Structure 1
């Protein structure tokens, strides 16, 4: 899980659904921001994402996959 300290937005690694979700402050549901197309190694897929890191200075989200 990563949190943007300026906006409060949460980024959550959804391991079994192979995706990263973004939850805005006070939101009732999230948005898929990476993956979500089943497991795999294509550019639009993640494969059991374990961890994420948000670099707010470069506005980059780094994702660690279990299987690559």
Structure 2
């Protein structure tokens, strides 16, 4: 699970850089910029889901989760 989270965060950082570059271009391609931002949002949602699953398992392992 940890490797998946790291991979998602790396992809998110790469998209951040692409978005930054596209936004700085003199003639920004707004369609491309919007598509990149949507991809970044999906990655952010995937990261949050993986983190929730990870912490749920951690809590269960420590006997702290509710039944």
- Shorter-chain TM band: under 0.3
Higher strand content, 1 or 2: 1
Q: Give the helix-richer structure, 1 or 2.
A: 2
| TM-score calculated relative to the size of structure 1 | 0.22
TM-score w.r.t. structure 2 length?
0.23
Q: Specify which structure has the bigger relative contact order, considering alpha-carbon pairs within 8 angstroms and separated by 6 or more residues.
A: 2
